[in-house]
Amino acid sequence: MAWNRVAVVGGGLIHFGELFSSSYEQMARGALDAAMGSVDSGFEPHQIEAIVVATQRGSLWGQEGIGGNTIPSALGISGVPCTRVENACPSGADAFRIAAMIVASGVHDLVLVIGVEKMRDKSTEEGLLSRAAAGHPVYTRGETAPVLFAPFATRHMHEFGTTAEMLAAVAVKNHHNGTLDPYAHFQSEITTEQVLASPTVCQPLRLLDCCPQTDGAAAIILASQDRARSLTKNPVWVAGFGMGTDHPYLHEKSNFTSLPATVSAAKRAYEMAGVRPNEIDVAEVHDCFTITEILDIEDLGFYEKGKGGPAALEGETAISGRIPINPSGGLLAKGHPIGATGVAQLVECWWQLRGEAGDRQVEINNGYALQHNVGGRGSGVSVVNILTSRNDN
């Protein structure tokens, strides 16, 4: 493919959580500072040639809708081109994909990808959850976020014998990983018993099957190959990316055990990167709910359909397992500030490939890390990005 190589030369995030004392703008600048501080040769804001900002819509009162206007000013580099990407839960991953294409095209050599989301400026009821009706005026009523995934759990359990304990194993693992991640929203262990005893949010999903509402921001600096050489001796490369879509309403699904958007996004990313699922060393996948991670690891090709639950229960997806999934704690423990989520996952992949993930460092054998988001109504949008530490890719 005739495109220029693209490198990740810096990345960072702020401590995710309920950041009542921070504004949207303050969070953004915090993420930029973290990313700039990670660049081996140092970095100044004015070096940025263009910005792609990911903000879904969180709980703000309108200013998120003009992210392209707000962010350059907040970062102290007003005047720089800036485009806002809104693409449901994969907003951050898609912003990265688009920024990579900008660098690959040769139009810009240094592009900032920044994801920023304020989820807690409104009460929980008024925030994301209040959109229990969207799109069609009648057909989507009552469809809060858990409703978009819980029917898959019901059906996955019915068809494959997936159990509540298997779902709980995902939450227990990711909360454990969260204790090893200083940026995670939740930093405490939980037990299977606690998960199973937690209140039902949306049958069959319980409270601890669900990710929290989190404020956060994350940033990544992408560079062309030449610029990357001058900024770091240890670049990580964009090996491939892919995006897929599917119908937006749940009743349009042909089945409730797989997310077709993920399958097609992964296929495109694997083909572009020239890798197979078994060559991936570590994956940061979309675990907004426990069932989602089980669907993901099947749809991404790590496990056969129906085998994701037992794999989670057997510990195969732990940091030391066969395929480590969500060493950062995932959305379940690290949090899910929507626009920032995908960018933060890519920061984790970057750290893992550079061997900088500390206590949660996984073993890197092939030099590939995969990042994945899926979301939207009916999980109809998915993005997969694959990074590599291999200079021969």
Catalytic residue numbers read: 89, 336
**Which bin fits 249, alpha (ψ -120 to 50), beta or left (φ > 0)?**
beta
Nearer to another protein, 40 or 126 (CB): 126
User: How far, in Å, CA of 53 to CA of 64, rounded?
Assistant: 10
Q: How far is CA 293 from CA 139, 149, 270, in A?
A: 27, 11, 19
Among 18, 86, 249, 307, binds another protein (CB under 8 A): 249
186 counts as binding another protein under rule CB under 8 A: no
Taking the complex as a whole, the smallest distance from the CB of residue 58 to another protein amounts, in Å, to 12
Taking the complex as a whole, the smallest distance from the CB of residue 245 to another protein amounts, in Å, to 13
Nearer to another protein, 77 or 288 (CB): 288
Which stretch in 70-78, 166-174, 249-257, 294-302 sits in contact with another protein by CB under 8 A? 249-257
Neighbours of 373 (CB within 10 A): 33
| Whether 92 contacts 115, CB under 8 Å | yes
Contacts of another protein in 88-147 (CB under 8 A): 124-126, 128-139, 141-147
Among 65, 68, 81, 151, binds another protein (CB under 8 A): 151
Alpha carbon 245 to its chain centroid, in Å, reads: 17
233 counts as binding another protein under rule CB under 8 A: no
- The footprint of another protein on this chain (CB under 8 A) covers a number of residues equal to 49
User: How far, in Å, CA of 181 to CA of 332, rounded?
Assistant: 13
Which stretch in 34-42, 168-176, 236-244, 246-254 sits in contact with another protein by CB under 8 A? 246-254
Taking the complex as a whole, the smallest distance from the CB of residue 172 to another protein amounts, in Å, to 17
**E runs forming strands in 311-380:** 368-375
Strands ordered across the beta sheet of 50-54: 82-85, 50-54, 110-117, 216-224, 6-13, 236-245, 381-388, 368-375, 282-284
Neighbours of 197 (CB within 10 A): 11
202 counts as binding another protein under rule CB under 8 A: yes
Taking the complex as a whole, the smallest distance from the CB of residue 1 to another protein amounts, in Å, to 28
Residues that bind another protein (CB under 8 A): 124-126, 128-139, 141-147, 150-152, 154-155, 158, 199-205, 207, 210-213, 247, 249-253, 256, 288, 336
